Amino acid sequence: MRDAACDQGGFTTVSGKEIRELYTPLDLDGFDYTHQLGFPGEYPFTRGIHPTMYRGRLWTMRQFSGFGSAEDTNKRYKYLLSHGQTGLSVAFHLPTLMGIDSDHLLAEGEIGKCGVAVDSLADMEILFDGIPLDKISTSMTINPPAAVLWAMYIAVAEKQGVSPKVISGTIQNDILKEYIAQKTFVFPPGPSMKLIVDTFEYGAKEVPKWNTISISGYHIREAGSTAAQELAFTLRDGIEYVEWAQKRGLDVDEFVPRLSFFFNAHNDFFEEIAKFRAARKIWADVMKERFKAKNPRSWWLRFHTQTSGVSLMAQQPHNNVVRVALQALSAVLGGTQSLHTNSLDETYALPSEDAVTIALRTQQIIAHESGVINCADPLGGSYFVETLTAQMEKEAKDYIKKIDDMGGMVKAIELGFPQKEIADSSYWYQKAVEKKEKIIVGVNAFEMEHEPIPLLKIEEAVAKQQLARLKEVKETRNNSEVKAKLLDLKKAAEDDQNLMPFLLESVRAYATLGEIMDALKEVYGEYKEPISY
Amino acid sequence: MANTRSQYRIKAGPEEIMAEKKIRVLVAKPGLDGHDRGAKVICRSLRDAGFEVIYTGLRRTPEEIVNSAIQEDADVIGLSILSGAHNVLFPKIMGLLKEKEADDITVIAGGIIPDKDIPLLKKIGISEIFLPGSSTEDIVKWIEGNVKESSSV
């Protein structure tokens, strides 16, 4: 019996790229090992950024997590750390992501639903209570208000007696992919880029172990891009940030070593591995040749990976465990520095404790049982993987050139270029699934009924508790001090100063996130997205 | 309360009534999440199927959605939400439609909606919920089978 793919006459990746039946040495004609691959830990780092890769140190197992109140999430963090997780990753609820307080009109129904509610330093203190910030690294998925949440984290560390010089972690802080894909934006592009460069500048001096940005392809892919588009737009975003920081007068070798990346691990196993390998090679080349960086650390593309959320299916949800395992394996074979594995129940709700445990165990099984960590870049030299890697590199470079010609990524976004490319790819894929050119097990083939699975429920009591704490904070703090600090902040924004010291002063006085963002909105205005589909 | 549906009905001119009218669908994104992949695919599919499609853009309040639906003389509202706030926001939208005498507009929804929430959402008047894995063709067929273009009546 021929399967559906044969009947359609084509074998393609999930991105629609044609794959031939066999790859041979002829595909690698003229292939130069030193130029195209090099050894792991050596330029251009196609085979990995460290000479011994996972033999030296495993990737960081970092599960993105946050729900309900700061107390609820603090408990989950302690649970994950006690089960062998090696870093934290904070998921904030939508009002925090948008820079509004829980008592804002638009926060209704959203409190604690998609992540943990943080309105002020008071919440942040509870969130990290009993977690030693000198020992644990923390990643925070936060974008328009990233500088504010980072200031809160630094303030919590200070309260624990931990110096900013010692703390480590990441703020996502990547606004370009928000305009392109995830759509969590507040300010227009100019002021947004200014705030980001402020964090680069401040971090290089004051918080040297912090990754001040995680340049993210993840959301671009989730919005429906192909693998090559994810790669290209992410790297071009990276170039854009470096250019804006250079315009401020920052030295690339001072701040670029603290830039990190974040990719998606989607279903197509080899295409994903090729994407990760090509990413390292292109970035090394861009930093060395285009930006003339001298510090080898500036050439490194270090990245976090999350398995693909959109690839999870509501139908027969236990099958998601297998999808996640394959995707996670591709990330490890691609040389990731840290990894989040999705939980089987996430098409329905935030993950239950049981589901998140299986997701973490999946990483531990890959690390400790599969044997794939024993040698660096085990697929290096495969005719197929090297051909795919070279194709991926070419496709991405073509896109990068196109965006350069438009005048950069901010210009391309204003023209709607990446948004349109992604919408086209996503529409193509949906139609391919509906025509059964792409098979999804349990959805358009092998369907069957299944029992409902147990889900995490966020109690409405969380909202009441959060609103009560916010009210209490506003009543017990020194309100004239808050007012003064917010005025200083606004003045600093008008004078185009680096805002980090002013944000720190504001959060220490328990100014709320919403109050701080409102002060900045008065100076910067708000972004309005052109509507298109 | 301004902007009831009947006010807008009266304004429709005779030439508009005579013209062959397409079913008008307002695709709306309530809630704070910015995940618009699904909404955009639906918009394009409905347009390709011959409907008139109006997309509200992101983060619309219940008031904004209901007002747009009335102003645009929509026959159908398609709500897309992934944030988990549907149990709070959908009843508000349905209440406002009733209040503004626009509850003849068919309301359908899609996104991340747990099975156990569906009976309540149907009870408040949402006609159909399309869960992940639904095909755009199913949605087109459902609208064709269940919605009559009503503004010329």
Residue A356 CA, distance from chain mean position: 19
| B134 CB within 8 Å of a chain A CB | no
Q: Which residues 96-115 of B are in CB contact (within 8 Å) with A?
A: 112, 114-115
The two tokens of residue A132 are 């030693």
The two tokens of residue A15 are 């991105």
Tell me what the mean pLDDT of segment B18-44 comes to. 89
Per-residue pLDDT tens for A483-525? 999 999 999 999 999 999 999 999 999 999 999 999 999 999 9
Alpha helices in A435-478 (DSSP H): 461-476
Tell me what the mean pLDDT of segment A102-109 comes to. 93
Instruction: Answer whether B83 sits within 8 Å of A98, measured CB to CB.
Output: no
Residue written as tokens 């995707």?
A: A327
Instruction: Answer whether A222 sits within 8 Å of B37, measured CB to CB.
Output: yes
Residue written as tokens 């008031």?
A: B63
Residue A103 has pLDDT above 80, yes or no: yes
Cβ-proximal residues to A404 (8 Å cutoff; 6+ apart), any chain: A236
Residue A349 has pLDDT above 90, yes or no: no
Per-residue pLDDT tens for A325-343? 999 999 999 999 999 999 9
**What is the pTM (predicted TM-score) of this model?**
0.93
User: Do the strands A338-340 and A60-61 form a parallel or antiparallel pair, or are they unpaired?
Assistant: parallel
Q: For A114, which residue in chain B has the nearest alpha carbon?
A: B83
pLDDT at B9: 47
The two tokens of residue A447 are 């369907």
Per the model's pLDDT, the better-predicted residue between B90 and A350 turns out to be B90
Distances (CA, A) of A253 to A247, A257, A291, B130: 14, 7, 10, 51
Whole-number percent of chain A with pLDDT over 90: 91
**Residue A481, φ and ψ in degrees, nearest 5:** -65, -45
Residue written as tokens 């959203």?
A: A110
Per-residue pLDDT tens for A42-89? 999 999 999 999 999 999 999 899 999 999 999 999 998 999 888 899
Q: Which of helix, strand or coil describes residue A169?
A: strand
Tell me what the mean pLDDT of segment A100-107 comes to. 95
Mean pLDDT of the residues in chain A: 95
A370, A353 Cβ separation under 8 angstroms: no
Residue B8 has pLDDT above 80, yes or no: no
Per-residue pLDDT tens for A287-338? 999 999 999 999 999 999 999 999 999 999 999 999 999 999 999 999 999 9
- Number of H helices and E strands in chain B, helices first, is 7, 5
pLDDT at A318: 97
Kindly report the number of other CB atoms within 10 A of residue A355's CB atom.
23
Q: pLDDT band at residue B10, thresholds of 50, 70 and 90?
A: very low
Q: What residue ranges define each of the domains in chain A, with the CATH number in brackets? A: 4-61+172-434 (3.20.20.240)
Distance from A252 to chain B by nearest Cα, in Å?
33
Q: Which of A393, A397, A401 is nearest to A46 (CA)?
A: A393
H-helix or E-strand containing A239?
Answer: helix A227-248
Distance from B15 to chain A by nearest Cα, in Å?
29
Kindly report the number of other CB atoms within 10 A of residue A99's CB atom.
25
Distances (CA, A) of A412 to A24, A226, A228: 39, 18, 17
The two tokens of residue A270 are 């080899």
Per-residue pLDDT tens for A132-160? 999 999 999 999 999 999 999 999 999 99
Q: Which of A202, A195, A146, A180 is nearest to A513 (CA)?
A: A146
CA B48/CA A277 separation, integer angstroms = 39
pLDDT at B150: 57
- Asked casually if ipTM beats, i.e. exceeds, 0.95, the reply is no
The two tokens of residue A363 are 């990483």
B121, B54 Cβ separation under 8 angstroms: no
pLDDT at B78: 98
Spans of all domains in chain B: 23-144
CA B15/CA B24 separation, integer angstroms = 17
Q: Which of helix, strand or coil describes residue A262?
A: strand
pLDDT at A6: 44
Distance from B59 to chain A by nearest Cα, in Å?
8
Instruction: Answer whether A427 sits within 8 Å of B44, measured CB to CB.
Output: yes
pLDDT at B4: 58
Identify the burial level of A309 via C-beta atoms within 10 angstroms of its C-beta, where 0-12 means exposed, 13-18 middle and 19 or more buried. middle
pLDDT at A85: 84
Q: Closest to A533 (Cβ–Cβ): which among B31, B43, B133?
A: B43
The two tokens of residue A54 are 């996972």
Instruction: Answer whether B83 sits within 8 Å of A455, measured CB to CB.
Output: no
Instruction: Answer whether A430 sits within 8 Å of B45, measured CB to CB.
Output: yes
Residue B121 has pLDDT above 90, yes or no: yes
Alpha helices in A25-145 (DSSP H): 70-82, 94-97, 121-127
Residue written as tokens 């250019």?
A: A243
A240, A291 Cβ separation under 8 angstroms: no
| B13 CB within 8 Å of a chain A CB | no
Residue B1 has pLDDT above 70, yes or no: no
Give the Cα-Cα-Cα angle B122, A315, B83 (nearest 5 degrees). Answer: 55
| Packing angle of the helix pair B37-48, A417-434 (nearest 10 deg) | 70
Q: For B58, which residue in chain A has the nearest alpha carbon?
A: A183
A339, A61 Cβ separation under 8 angstroms: yes
Q: Closest to B58 (Cβ–Cβ): which among A110, A440, A529?
A: A529
CA B105/CA B153 separation, integer angstroms = 13
H-helix or E-strand containing B130?
Answer: strand B128-130
Q: Closest to B37 (Cβ–Cβ): which among A98, A224, A434?
A: A224
Instruction: Answer whether A178 sits within 8 Å of B34, measured CB to CB.
Output: yes
Instruction: Answer whether A183 sits within 8 Å of B58, measured CB to CB.
Output: yes
A229, A220 Cβ separation under 8 angstroms: yes
Cβ-proximal residues to B82 (8 Å cutoff; 6+ apart), any chain: B31, B33, B35, B38, B111, B112
Q: Which CATH number does the domain B23-144 belong to among 3.40.50.280, 3.40.50.720, 3.20.20.450, 3.40.50.2300?
A: 3.40.50.280
